[in-house]
């Protein structure tokens, strides 16, 4: 058996189906490591909700490996080579990340270790298909989802079979003089993030339980039910996938075995959208902060901090919008249908720059992801690839009537409207104040007037977009 290896955890906080862990099984001593490297953009700008999840996940992973996880803060390019020297490490294993700054730093680290005669191997643990493997017939990256998934992914290769957790792994805690990471949220009481505990079971076991619950209860009507925010037909696996507490290979193969027909094909295509976002991020590294359609750099967005703050707080006067924004703040999550409605409202009806929405979601979402978050906002704004047409503007009233017809979702997150009859609750501002008062609703007092007229703002958006596109 070989002597010493180091396993560097990043966004792969699990033991099952972890290729880096599997590579370490033939070593006598395994030193597990996590580094909060703030040279990396994601770590430097990590949102509060994501940091809460990460810290809880690290704590659980540490327990699973008998408290042997070394959690450090600093420059991985300095820390890992020095640990290798001090611990007489023979090999370093890690799983790949796909953000440009991580790729650049990983390449430098790999060269540095190889120059010191240390074996280095990196693996794919987080994507079903490597982004550099999926090309169109011209050898270029895809820019439209459907051909990417159907002609690129599904005709390329089947996602690999998940790897079982190896037995008898001997983890050891590394001794180090480097600065240890100080947890910000995990052991604090009365912090805004503590409420998340009511809604989520972080960690590898929580991820598997969520997948099993979905396949047992939610998957049977997924293709239709996923559009209705008050129905539990969605998997809620996105935070677990983001931090790698479950692998997409496990999710893909379990869904493939236990789902059928359109429900299965739609769910697998949703996993495909995650792949597409990373495909875009890898091939267009500026996805996070620059318009993919650079002609939109001169688009006349409107800066209005007052309206932006009301959108953030769920005080727009449009119940479905407010319910979504309050769900986000309360639970660290927002149903995907409502994400589309709320984001459309911000960039189309308020004509606010998509970056404002992206940053708020980045701070509040437990599943905040550099690829999916950025790609989704650019999709809504019309600035990205395969973007929604500029004339597609979600009507919050008709959307809520269609997808929350009994108003259960609105009543849950906007309780001040819960006494209103269904026919009134979707647009209380359309009714006389004397009628609303019968149900303890007074606009401007316990629920806001609309911050903008939907019909007029829609006309304005269509006019601004059409003039801009015709000019460009």
Res. 119: pLDDT tops 80: yes
Q: Which sequence spans correspond to the domains of the chain?
A: 2-125, 126-161+202-283, 294-471
**pLDDT confidence band for 387 (50 / 70 / 90):** low
Residue 123: helix, strand or coil by DSSP? strand
Count Cβ atoms below 10 Å from residue 449 Cβ, excluding itself: 10
Res. 255: pLDDT tops 70: yes
**pLDDT confidence band for 188 (50 / 70 / 90):** low
Res. 391: pLDDT tops 60: yes
Res. 198: pLDDT tops 70: yes
- β-bridge partners, 7: 32, 93
Residue 69: helix, strand or coil by DSSP? coil
pLDDT > 90: percent of the chain:
91
CATH architecture type of domain 126-161+202-283: Alpha Horseshoe (1.25)
Res. 109: pLDDT tops 80: yes
DSSP 300-319: -----HHHHHHHHHT-SS-H
**pLDDT confidence band for 86 (50 / 70 / 90):** very high
Res. 193: pLDDT tops 80: no
Q: Which residues contact 279 (CB under 8 A, 6 or more apart)?
A: 131, 134, 141, 142, 148
Taking the C-alpha atoms of residue 382 and residue 348, their distance in angstroms, rounded to an integer, is 10
As a whole number, mean pLDDT of residues 261-270 equals 97
Residue 92: helix, strand or coil by DSSP? strand
Main-chain dihedrals φ then ψ at residue 430, nearest 5 degrees: -85, 0
Q: Would you say 279 and 131 are in contact if contact means Cβ atoms under 8 Å apart?
A: yes
As a whole number, mean pLDDT of residues 158-168 equals 94
Q: What tens digit of pLDDT does each residue of 301-311 get?
A: 999 999 999 99
The third-level CATH classification (topology) of the domain covering 294-471 is DNA Cyclobutane Dipyrimidine Photolyase, subunit A; domain 3 (1.10.579)
Q: What tens digit of pLDDT does each residue of 206-243 get?
A: 999 999 999 999 899 999 999 999 998 999 999 999 99
Q: Which residues contact 307 (CB under 8 A, 6 or more apart)?
A: 350, 352, 451, 452
By the 10 Å C-beta count (0-12 exposed, 13-18 middle, 19+ buried), 85 is classed as exposed
**pLDDT confidence band for 150 (50 / 70 / 90):** very high
Amino acid 389: pLDDT: 78
**pLDDT confidence band for 297 (50 / 70 / 90):** very high
pLDDT > 70: percent of the chain:
98
Res. 252: pLDDT tops 70: yes
Half-sphere exposure of 265 (CA within 13 A, CB side): 5
Q: Is 168 left (phi over 0), alpha (psi -120 to 50) or beta?
A: left
Strands 2-9 and 91-95: parallel
- Average the pLDDT over each of 125-129, 185-189, 253-257, 313-317 and give the range with the smallest value: 185-189
The two counts, helices (H) then strands (E), for the chain are 21, 5
More confident of the two residues 389 and 181: 181
Q: Would you say 160 and 129 are in contact if contact means Cβ atoms under 8 Å apart?
A: no
Amino acid 186: pLDDT: 65
Res. 108: pLDDT tops 70: yes
**pLDDT confidence band for 386 (50 / 70 / 90):** confident
Here the contacts of 228-232 (C-beta below 8 Å, separation 24 or greater) are: 228/337, 228/403, 228/404, 229/323, 229/324, 229/335, 229/337, 229/338, 229/403, 229/404, 229/409, 230/404, 230/406, 230/408, 230/409, 230/412
As a whole number, mean pLDDT of residues 66-72 equals 97
CATH node for 2-125? 3.40.50.620
- Distances 418 to 142, 227, 428 between C-alpha atoms, Å: 46, 22, 12
Q: Would you say 18 and 125 are in contact if contact means Cβ atoms under 8 Å apart?
A: yes
Amino acid 270: pLDDT: 97
Nearest to 337 by CA among 400, 419, 267, 262: 400
Amino acid 192: pLDDT: 73
Q: If you ran DSSP here, which 8-state letter would residue 144 be given?
A: S
Q: What tens digit of pLDDT does each residue of 424-443 get?
A: 999 999 999 999 999 999 99
Res. 187: pLDDT tops 60: no
- Distances 25 to 55, 164, 306, 408, 434 between C-alpha atoms, Å: 26, 12, 56, 50, 72
The token pair at 351 is 């004509």
Instruction: Please give the mean pLDDT across all residues of the chain.
Output: 95
Q: Measured in whole angstroms, how far is the alpha carbon of residue 325 from the centre of its chain?
A: 16
Count Cβ atoms below 10 Å from residue 132 Cβ, excluding itself: 11
Half-sphere exposure of 315 (CA within 13 A, CB side): 13
Count Cβ atoms below 10 Å from residue 254 Cβ, excluding itself: 18
């Amino acid at each position: 058996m070989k002597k010493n290896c180091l396993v560097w955890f990043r966004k792969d906080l699990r033991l099952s189906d972890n290729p880096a862990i599997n590579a370490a099984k033939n070593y006598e001593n395994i030193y597990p490591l996590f580094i909060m490297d703030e040279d990396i953009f994601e770590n430097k700008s990590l949102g509060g909700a994501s940091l809460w999840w990460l810290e809880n996940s690290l704590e659980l992973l540490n327990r699973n490996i008998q408290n042997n996880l070394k959690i450090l803060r600093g420059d991985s390019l300095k820390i890992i080579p020095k640990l290798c020297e001090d611990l007489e490490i023979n090999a370093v294993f890690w799983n790949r990340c796909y953000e440009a700054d991580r790729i650049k730093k990983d390449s430098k680290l790999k060269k540095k270790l190889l120059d010191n005669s240390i074996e280095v191997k990196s693996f794919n643990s987080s994507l079903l298909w490597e982004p550099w493997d999926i090309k169109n017939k011209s050898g270029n990256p895809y820019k439209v989802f459907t051909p990417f998934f159907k002609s690129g992914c599904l005709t390329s290769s089947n996602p690999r079979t998940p790897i079982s957790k190896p037995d008898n792994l001997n983890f050891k805690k590394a001794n180090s003089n480097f600065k240890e990471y100080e947890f910000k949220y995990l052991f604090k009481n009365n912090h805004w993030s503590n409420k998340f505990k009511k809604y989520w079971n972080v960690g590898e076991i929580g991820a598997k339980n969520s997948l099993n619950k979905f396949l047992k209860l939610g998957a049977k009507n997924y293709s239709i039910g996923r559009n209705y925010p008050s129905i539990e037909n969605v998997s809620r696996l996105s935070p677990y996938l983001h931090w790698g507490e479950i692998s997409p290979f496990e999710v893909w193969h379990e869904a493939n075995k236990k789902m059928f027909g359109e429900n299965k094909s739609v769910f697998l295509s949703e996993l495909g959208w995650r792949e597409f976002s990373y495909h875009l991020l890898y091939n267009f590294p500026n996805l996070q902060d620059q318009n993919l359609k650079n002609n939109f750099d001169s688009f006349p967005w409107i800066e209005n901090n007052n309206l932006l703050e009301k959108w953030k707080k769920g005080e727009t006067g449009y119940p479905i919008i407010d319910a979504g924004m309050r769900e986000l703040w309360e639970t660290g999550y927002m149903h995907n249908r409502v994400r589309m409605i709320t984001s459309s409202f911000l960039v189309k009806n308020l004509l606010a720059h998509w970056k404002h929405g992206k940053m708020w979601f980045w701070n509040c979402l437990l599943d905040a992801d550099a690829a999916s978050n950025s790609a989704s906002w650019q999709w809504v704004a019309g600035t990205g690839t395969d973007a929604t047409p500029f004339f597609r503007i979600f009507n919050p009233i008709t959307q809520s009537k269609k997808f929350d017809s009994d108003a259960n979702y609105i009543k849950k997150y906007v309780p001040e409207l819960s006494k209103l009859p269904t026919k009134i609750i979707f647009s209380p501002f359309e009714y006389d104040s004397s009628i609303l008062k019968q149900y303890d609703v007074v606009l401007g007092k316990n629920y806001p007037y609309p911050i903008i007229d939907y019909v007029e703002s829609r006309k304005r958006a269509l006019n601004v977009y059409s003039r801009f596109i015709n000019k460009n």
